[in-house]
Structure 1
Amino acid sequence: MAFSKLTDPTMAGSERGDRERGFLDGQFLIAMPGMFDQNFARTVIYVCAHSPAGAMGFILNRRQSITFPDILLHLDMIDQHDAIMLPQKTREFPIQTGGPVETGRGFVLHSDDYLSESSIPVSEDICLTATLDIVRAISAGGGPRRATMLLGYAGWAGGQLEAEIANNGWLHCPASEDLIFDPKLDDKYERALALMGISPGMLSNEAGHA
């Protein structure tokens, strides 16, 4: 498992705030029933970056069997005794499957009350950090007010995501911060659709955009 400075080309310029932004920046993608790729069936994705170079985002409703203490042990940040002594809130810090790309790499999506030199703003209120400093802060009981760790991410080449939307693969709508950080995953797909006033039974007749 790796944590390092984010170098994805779709995020280029984010540290300076001058990254070229696409119309899907800060949007939810909601998979349509006809989604052919099982990696994304019934998923809700938060798009962190969208530009002519491509797109990057994170699945928000897929569980991960690894726990936060497992990650701390894997990174040699604590030993077994320390893991047992961690506060319940720290032990239960949410870990999710972010996508099928670089599944051994960790990212923390979080509120903007925590910032390090490597934190990248992805919206007015949400940042992305992929370095160990935030893991240390969380393990010490600090860190951001709202956060979730994601292993792997979803990525698209230039024009690929636009083509999938045109082919009725995705709905999209403005993201909800509450839904991004809500640890209840089982009905997050339905609740994301509800943001658009849509129920699952209506999807077969819906177009691929909001």
Structure 2
Amino acid sequence: MTDPRYLAGRILLALPGMFDPRFARAAIAMCIHDEDGALGIAVGRLHDGISFRAVLEDAGIDPGDIDDAPVHVGGPVEPQRGFVLHTPDWGGIGTIEVNPLCSLSFAQDVLRAIAEGRGPSRWLFALGYAGWGQGQLEEEMHHHGWHAATAHPEILFNTPVEKRWARTWQAEGIDPALLASQTGHA
């Protein structure tokens, strides 16, 4: 059972007025969160001019006849490293179950499977990740910065990128237009 103190399997949403402008209106699929730190993949912005087919070719993988796909800006850490968020119907080397949201794979095994048409049924590809050191995310959660939404795999895989942040708030029962850009201190 997952420890409820930790946020793996949830979607982290940036609050309006986020202290770090790189994360304005960010929606982050939280994949790892434990006493050592946290890792998430941002799913709300796309790289301009980078295609998934080009990434496959750069990795020495024949893209075959698969349709091209966008490449997400996964976060500012290791922006050259690729990650695949996908449905749990596929697992291989380097796959982590991120229940109940998705699975995360970071080995070339998943890229080959996608190119060959035997990969997961739904997936998205990102370069980079968002990372927090020990206790860092917990500290940010105490300030005006983040909201931990429940898992919404349907939003992750079925919602256009530019609408994921707002749709996740709405799924939480919150109108994002009514959110304040700062919180008070009593």
TM-score (norm 2): 0.88
AA aligned to 1:28 is: I
Residue 33 of structure 1 corresponds to 16
Correspondence 1:126 to 2:110: no
SS across alignment from 2:8: coil
Cα distance, 1:139 vs structure 2: 0.8
- Of residues 153, 175, 178, the one that matches 2:154 is 178
CA displacement at 1:178 relative to structure 2? 0.9
Across the two proteins, how many residue pairs are aligned to each other?
Answer: 183
With structure 1 as the length reference, what TM-score do the two structures score? 0.79
Contact persistence 2:15–2:181 (CA under 8 A): no
| Alignment correspondent of 1:158 | 134
Deviation at 1:75, TM superposition (A): 1.4
Summarize deviations over 1:143-193 as a string: whole Å, max 9, x none.
001111110000011111111111111111212001112351122111011
- Of residues 59, 70, 86, the one that matches 2:42 is 59
Change (3 A) 1:205 1:71: closer
Q: 1:190 to 1:183 in 2, by over 3 A?
A: closer
Q: How does 1:47-196 map to 2 (within 5 A)?
A: 47-65=30-48, 66-78=50-62, 86-87=64-65, 90-124=66-100, 126-182=102-158, 184-196=160-172
Q: Secondary structure at the match of 1:175?
A: coil
Cα distance in 2, alignment partners of residues 101 and 202 from structure 1: 31
The one-letter code of the counterpart of 1:131 is A
Give the percent of matched residue pairs that are identical in Structure 1 and Structure 2.
Answer: 36
What displacement does 1:126 show? 2.3
Q: Matched residues in 2 for 1:140 and 1:97: separation?
A: 24
CA–CA distance in structure 2, aligned partners of residues 119 and 205 of structure 1: 37
Distance 1:52 1:24 in 2: 11
Unaligned runs of 5+ in 2: none
- State whether structure 2 residue 6 is matched by structure 1 residue 23: yes
DSSP 3-state at the match of 1:168: coil
Following superposition, the deviation at residue 38 of structure 1 comes to: 1.6
Question: Take 1:21 and 1:118, find their aligned partners in 2: how far apart are those partners?
Answer: 24
Gaps of 5+ in 1: 1-17
- Any idea what SS the aligned residue of 2:126 has? strand
Residue identity in the other structure for 1:194: Q
